[in-house]
Structure formats: structure tokens, C-alpha cells
Structure 1
């Protein structure tokens, strides 16, 4: 049997939530059964309330209201002895109009965020993907309880949170800073790192080792253009400021394929121009002797990875 305390039709007390407007199927859970609410019903604290598709209900208390639309489910908690109301929102859409007081006294909590106010009007939408707060009046403190950050969102702005989305604020005016729960404001690069972690992406960092080789390291990649300044570069970086060899062969090539910033001649090896200054005399020119240095030889920079006096095989001199 439906308890009288759950949905009393008698005059409500000042701290009771009463059904002021109702359309469609809106029920409260009582003694193991969902029971239809009526206009004027008083809802007990902690009672589970559910509205079905196409329904609409407004609960009022003094100047404050809680509005449910469509398929939504909430519980209303009033802290004993204090003016603090908490709406636990499982899913759906809830609109809150809270009386303006000098202390925070009203909050909506979803699986992803908490919206806490002193007095304002705002809407919270939540589903199994995430939650969003839209501020229509005043300021709402939005706590991202998934990633432990917080921001004050103002009129005309929205804040969204999900497991893969750190507190994301958009809308009119200046976007407010995001801080830790301890109140430490986060720099933009710190927020970017949090967003990368949440989305599962990696940040690519360029590292230049001391041996003049350019190497790219990525958390999610095994690629690395590794060269040691002596031919055989990996990758297709176009060579810049290359000089044709004056030694063996025809020395006519002006653009070699140096691998990714290696100071090497590609497959047309010339006198090992890696690791130091120009090698002289031991040219070992490859097929054509057209040694082109890529951006930086062994000593990176627009160095000349040319063998100066290299001889290729049977060639006895220059033309």
C-alpha cells in the first residue's frame, strides 16, 4: 500500500518538495513498486523518481524548482539540519532553479560531474556517454569527478565531461580557468596532457641526440628515422644545401635522399660524411659517386658531406 508520507496530498511543509506541474507518466519508487505521482504529491527524501518518454514534471519548494523532462531518473536528498539539497541524477535531463543565497546550497551530481551553486538556473543532461551542464543564469561550479578538475561556468556557457573528455567548456565570453580540486589553476599544456591521457592519444616529442642524428620518438610508434651520418638514411627527407662531390663519378646530382635529417649520402655513398668534418681521401663512392648530404652531416647543420678527393674504382682524374 502506498505510504501517506511518500505522496501526501495534505499541506506541505516549507522544506518539502511538491509536484506543482505534471504531464504524462511520472512515478516514484515505494515499497518495491513504482507508483504514479499526482499534482500536489509530496515526495519523501531519498525517493527514486522516474519520468518516461513524453512526460514532464516540476517539483517546487519555496522559490526553488526541480524540473524533469522526457526519460529521466533522479533522487532528491536534503541534508538534515542544513539548507543543502542534492539531486542525484542517473540519466536524462534536469533543470534547476535555485534561490540565491550566500552559501552553496544546491547541487546536481551525475556519474561524471557535480554542479554546485549558490543561486542560479541551469540544466544538466546525462547519459551513459557523459554529462553536460548549461548555465542559463548565474554561476555554476562544475566539478569533473572523473578527472578531478573544476571550473566556474557562467551564463551562456556549457561544460561537458565524459570518461574520454576532460572538463570542456564552451560558449560566450571568456572561458574560465580549470583547476584541480585543491584549487591549483592548470596551465594550458597541463590541460592538454590530461586531455591526451583521457582520449588515449600520445604526444609526439622530437629528440635530438648528441651525435647529430635527428630521431623522432613517439609513445605509440616504432618509427624512428635513425641515421649515423654515413649513408643509408631511413626516410625520404629532401636534402638541403647539398654539394655535389668533386671526387669520383660525375658529381652531377644535386638533390639526394637523405634520411630524415641524417648527414648521409643515400645509396650513392661518398666518402662517409658522418660523424665529423669532411672525410678526405677514402671516398668509396657507390654507383654514381653523387654524394649529397642531407640537412646536417655528422655535425648537423648545412654541412658538406662530400668526399673531397674520393676516387671511384678506375677513374684516374677529373674531366
Structure 2
């Protein structure tokens, strides 16, 4: 019987990554729901399950229903839904240092107490440095906040250079207008240091990209569409409205014909009826719509140019 149990434990150790045998500097998932994944190359996402260890420097993503708790010795980090962060460990033993790079979402940390600061949380707006404490960091699209349950956390705003040491029951928020602090008892004191640049960019949406996908996902910050891409994607809409042509042969500014900038319509660029600057037919500048950006009013006064060329 004992031989049978030993064999089963051995097979479990071999089949479950990170289970039962982990390095002392390795974070292990003691709780993991669905929609929790990690990546090392920012391309391929791997499901993170209970009992698995997390590779050093891996990016971890939780979806709208994803929750995760990692443990390393007496330390723990809890991920709330819609969170994207990486954990980087340097050194080992008494000289070990940990850096959490948090791009968006909410994490709660319980860090072992040491004489010197050894754990840092980097966000797009602030950095939090601790010797040993329990605290929460929340990052949105335009701000970040720290709330301290126990111990002492030093918080620094990158843009304003404001800095404050937060104790139990105190907190700080950093946004475009600077740092604000509050808490139980005396209000935390704010000092100033030289402003600096954050190491992680802010997201545009406040949500991690492709959290539910396990392959072909990316942690790169979503980018806005270029003008050409917008033209290609908008087939049947333009700013403006219908209207009778003015002196320069346009309808109301921008028109609303179905199509994109540069299309044709009735009366533009001199009011010559059909056809105008920018081409004709079915949309221009990459557009697929019918109409133009110059409106569909009837032109007048051939002596004046189109202001919207």
C-alpha cells in the first residue's frame, strides 16, 4: 500500500508542472480560476492552473472572471479580474529582490519583513517600495492607487515627483493632476524628488488585451487607428449633414454622403455639379462608401474654391 501511494505521488510530481517540488524562489499558484494565463514571449499564452509554478519574468493575465493567488514561502500575491502584471525575481536567499510590473488591474501583496527594501511595484503612474507589509495596488487607464493594511509603503509619482510614506490605514492616488493622500489619523506627508519616466506604459482601454485567448495573444498596448485605417474601415458614414450648397458649392461642412474623404458628390470645388476634388465613384482615400466628405448639396458660384480640399 505504501509503495502504491509513493508511486502515485511520484507520478503527480512529474505530471503537474510546479507541483510538490518547487524552488524556494518560485511563485506557485495555490488558487487559479478560469481565464488565468501567462506568457514568456508575449505571443503564446499558457493556462495557469492550481499547483503550477510561474516562470520568472512571465506576464500573467486574468480575464473578467479570472482570479489568482500566488505563494512563495510566507509571501503571497493575489490577482483580481482584468489584471496584467509580471513578477521579476533577482538573486536568491537573503539578497533576493522582487519587482512586480503592473500594467493594469488590481493586486494585493503580503511581503515578508526585512531590514532593507526588497520588493517594488512598478505601474505607469507610480512606484511602491516596501520592506515588508500588506497592501493593495490598483491601476486604471489614467491613474493608480495604493492602500496599506499593514507596515510601511513608500509611494512615488513619476510625473510630479511627489513622494509619501504610507502607514496602516493610509492610501495615495496618482493621476494627471498629481498625488493625493488620505487615511486614518494624521494625513501622510508629501515630499518631492526629481520627476522620472515610468518603466511600463499605460493602457488605452484600462483592460488587458486578449485575456481569454491562450494563443496568438499579445500584451502590447493597443494602438489607435491611423487615418488611412479609419478611412478603410468606415464605408458609409461621414461627419456633417445634408444641406443646400453654399457659395463654394459644398453642403454643410464635411457633408454626410456615404463614403469617405475625397469621394464625389453633387457640387464641390467650384460648384460644377457632379465630380469634385478628390476623385469620384465609390469612395476615396481607401474608403468603400458611396458619396463624399463634401456633402451633397448643389453648388453655386463657380468663382470660389472648396475649403475642405
TM range (shorter): 0.5 to 0.7
Corresponding residue for residue 234 of structure 1: none
Distance 2:37 2:116 in 1: 32
Cα deviation digits, residues 239-290 of structure 1 (max 9, x gap): xxxxxxxxxxxxxxxxxxxxxxxxxxxxxxxxxxxxxxxxxxxxxxxxxxxx
**Pair 1:135 & 2:145 matched:** no
Determine helix, strand or coil for the equivalent of 1:54.
coil
Say yes or no: does 1:72 pair with 2:83.
yes
SS at match of 1:33: coil
Deviation at 1:30, TM superposition (A): 3.9
Bigger-Rg structure (1/2): 1
Matches within 5 A, 1:82-161: 82-161=95-174
> Cα offset for 1:55?
1.7
1:174 to 173, 179, 186: 186
- Say whether the 8 Å CA contact 1:129–1:162 is kept in structure 2: yes
Residue deviations 1:101-159, cap 9 Å, x none?
11111111100001111111000000111000011111110011121121101111110
Number of aligned positions between the proteins = 177
Q: What are structure 2's unaligned runs of at least 5 residues?
A: 1-13, 195-309
Q: CA deviation at 1:85?
A: 0.5
- The Cα shift of 1:7 comes to 4.9
Deviations 1:162-211 (A, max 9, x none): 122x11101211112211227xxxxxxxxxxxxxxxxxxxxxxxxxxxxx
Contact 1:7 1:44 in 2 (8 A): no
Runs (5+) with no aligned partner, structure 1: 183-319
Task: Please give the TM-score of this superposition, normalised by the length of structure 1.
Answer: 0.53
Indicate the SS of the match to 2:154.
strand
* Contact kept? 1:7, 1:43, Cα under 8 Å: no
| Structure 1 contact 86–109 (Cα < 8 Å) conserved | yes
RCO (CA 8 Å, sep 6+): is it higher in 1 or 2? Answer: 2
- Which runs of structure 2 are paired with 1:230-245 in the superposition (5 Å)? none
Q: Which residue of 1 aligns with 2:58?
A: 47
Distance 2:168 2:83 in 1: 24
Q: Which runs of 4+ in 1 moved over 3 A?
A: 6-10
Looking at structure 2, the residues matched to 145 and 25 of structure 1 have their Cα atoms a distance apart, in angstroms, of 32
